[in-house]
Amino acid sequence: MPWNEVSAIDLRREFVALAGNEDANIRLLCQRFGISAKTGYKWLERFRQGGTDALSDRSRRPHESPRRTEPGLEQAVLSLRSKHPAWGGRKLARRLLDLGMEDVPAPSTVTEILRRHERLGTPDGEGTQQRYHRFEHDAPNQLWQIDFKSPIQTPRGVCHTLTAIDDHSRYNLILNACRRQGAVEVQPVMTEAFRRYGLPIRINSDNGPPWGSPREHTHGISRLSVWLIRLGIRMSHSRPYHPQTNGKDERFHRSLDRELLKVKGFADRPHLQIELDRWRQCYNHERPHEALALAVPATRYKPSPRPYPEKLPAIEYVPGDTVVRVKWDGRFHAFGRAGKVSNALMGLDIALRPASQHKDGIYDIYFCHQRIGKLDLRKSEK
């Protein structure tokens, strides 16, 4: 099969990067990237022989020589800084090393080169943030953080950029310019990501649409959340007005702002998407990440072993559960009492399970594996 139309070179780079990880399943990766195994192994062999330049349909000369004179090294620093004006000395030095350049100056020397050429100023106070420890999951795909970026105005309309970050590796999984923030627009984008990277164990989002409802935090499940839960993904939500719960994705938004959105203009949504794709390639495979000891996210990410099922699995519960069906208004009846869950569960089965850590008369309400509320028989009905 041919590669997708958009950014074929970027797709090849991402493919060979993921295929180079330990225990990578090459044939499964080929399937997820929509290419034949023959094509996949062809590009892997070309990459082994010639690196990323060999992934192009045309031969290219290297941009940097491994042996530079001192003025040449200085010019390389300045050229890379021009390409990435928000990067500081540490990122620039590490990227030059990753490009195979010898005798790369120390980060402090790189900073001095920038200062000498009056190139040290950085947008939005880069480098002034305080360091602090942030919790990190032990392996890729244990948690994805997902959110919408602030709307971006173009001459031909507003764009809503959907982003998703792997918590462990900081690998960007979704960077898509959507027309709207509704489930109709979001679900196909997430489906494409699941087909390529597999399913995560958990996804964390905010409480608003299309994920849930901040006004119904206990049972504000949306139709999109119903779909995700049925896929076997655990859903969690940031506390209202506490975006730091999705801190890594929020930090990703800051980098996206500083390195792309605030330094370029975009004619329309397709133009924005082209620039997002280009920047995503750099972020995942070229840009040294401070939180990863200046490694790039691609070195710490590998796709999930849990494949995306093209058909939703059946809803099943454990023996001993009391299973009831949700009516059109989100109401259900059990033990002679009425209860209320999200309207998005209309026509689906939920389960009531005795709450082991509570007194008799309290039942936890489950939809598939997800606890979505409780029913307290000790309280009188209103």
Interval 259-279: pLDDT, tens? 999 988 999 999 999 999 999
Determine the angle formed by the axes of helices 37-50 and 8-19, rounding to 10 degrees.
80
The CB-side HSE value for 234 (13 A sphere, CA atoms) comes to 8
Q: Please give the model's pTM, rounded to 2 decimal places.
A: 0.79
Interval 35-56: pLDDT, tens? 999 999 998 998 888 888 888 8
Cβ atoms of 89 and 80 closer than 8 Å: no
* pLDDT bucket at 223, cuts 50 / 70 / 90: very high
86 contact partners, CB below 8 Å, separation of at least 6: 122, 123, 126, 255, 258, 259, 263
Res 151 pLDDT > 90: yes
Residue 163 to residue 185: CA distance in whole angstroms: 13
Interval 300-348: pLDDT, tens? 999 999 999 999 999 999 999 999 999 988 999 999 899 999 999 999 9
Q: How would you label 167-196 residue by residue, b for 16+ Cβ within 10 Å and e otherwise?
A: bbbbbbbbbbbbeeeebeebeebbeebbbb
DSSP 57: S
CATH architecture of 144-299: 2-Layer Sandwich (3.30)
Which of 237, 222, 208 is CA-nearest to residue 345? 222
Residues β-bridged to residue 277 = none
Domain residue limits, the chain:
8-55, 70-125, 144-299, 322-376
* pLDDT bucket at 239, cuts 50 / 70 / 90: low
